[in-house]
Amino acid sequence: MKLLLPLFSAALLAASAMPSHAGDRYADRPPVMVSPDLSAPWVLQLGHAPGIVRQNRQALQQPRQRYAQPAQPDRVQTAGVQAPAKRMVARPQINPVYLPQEVDYDGGQKPGTIVIDTTQNFLYLVEKNGKARRYGVGTGKPGFEWSGTHKITNKREWPDWRPPAEMIKREAAKGRYLPTYLAGGMENPLGARALYLGTTEYRIHGTNQPWTIGGAVSSGCIRMRNEDVVDLYERVNVGTTVEVI
């Protein structure tokens, strides 16, 4: 055990040294907080792969906070009896400003219109009586910003993804090789739902990187948390006007 502890520490330092760029669609996931309980087998703590700290699928589906948050012990005490201690676990949460909420709105658009503010990274679904339902979104990174007005021309659940040839070429130049086709599902960057805008290649869609919400991170598409895009999907129809400002 004494010999393995230095190896474990070295693996964690190597993992934490990997670069991560918030403005990069394919950036590494934020570092995972590992249990300090070193009595567990060290290989298990590294996710069955020495040097790599992995997350399970259930953890990936949980919303992430945009800022670091300390781990909290899962320890429950009831009627003076303390439950068996569990491992320390991280409980990341998204910045509350990006969660769906009802807000005052005086933009002048008629109810049912979607307005996307790419400066503040908010999407507004205009409602009656000066109100709107606001969601946090990820928008185009520098060089990929755009504005305009379109109609929703199609809606898809768990859409497949065919990256444009230009994107494939651009990412290949960075050493990242994209598939020409990816079926819908949890690993698909379009997430749970997609709303297609006019005849463009832009969409309002979900994401498998929820921690990027609130940033300028995409190639022009508007990304939302999966649970948020599902909610929006049920509230709007084909033909809805979308204004990107």
Total domains in the fold of the chain: 2
Q: What pLDDT, on the 0 to 100 scale, is given for residue 124?
A: 98
Catalytic residue numbers?
Answer: 205, 221
How far apart CA 5 and CA 1 sit, in angstroms, is 6
- Residue 46: inside a domain: yes
Q: What pLDDT, on the 0 to 100 scale, is given for residue 75?
A: 40
Specify the CATH number for the domain of residue 187: 2.40.440.10
Q: Are residues 144 and 57 in the same domain?
A: no
- Residue 111: inside a domain: no
- Residue 182: inside a domain: yes
- Residue 108: inside a domain: no
How far apart CA 192 and CA 189 sit, in angstroms, is 9
- 0.85 exceeded by pTM: no
- Residue 126: inside a domain: no
Q: Are residues 43 and 142 in the same domain?
A: no
- Residue 167: inside a domain: yes
Q: What pLDDT, on the 0 to 100 scale, is given for residue 26?
A: 52
- Residue 105: inside a domain: no
Render the burial of 104-140: b for 16+ CB within 10 Å, e for the rest: ebeeeeeeebbbbbbeebbbbbbbeeebbbbbbbbbb
Q: Are residues 153 and 240 in the same domain?
A: yes
75, 93, 111 - which closes a domain: 93
At 22-72, the pLDDT tens digits run 445 555 555 544 444 433 333 333 333 333 333 333 333 343 333 333 344
Q: What pLDDT, on the 0 to 100 scale, is given for residue 110?
A: 97
Q: Which residues of the chain have pLDDT under 70?
A: 1-93
Q: What pLDDT, on the 0 to 100 scale, is given for residue 51?
A: 33
- Residue 33: inside a domain: yes
The domain of 26 spans 1-64+87-93
Q: What pLDDT, on the 0 to 100 scale, is given for residue 115?
A: 98
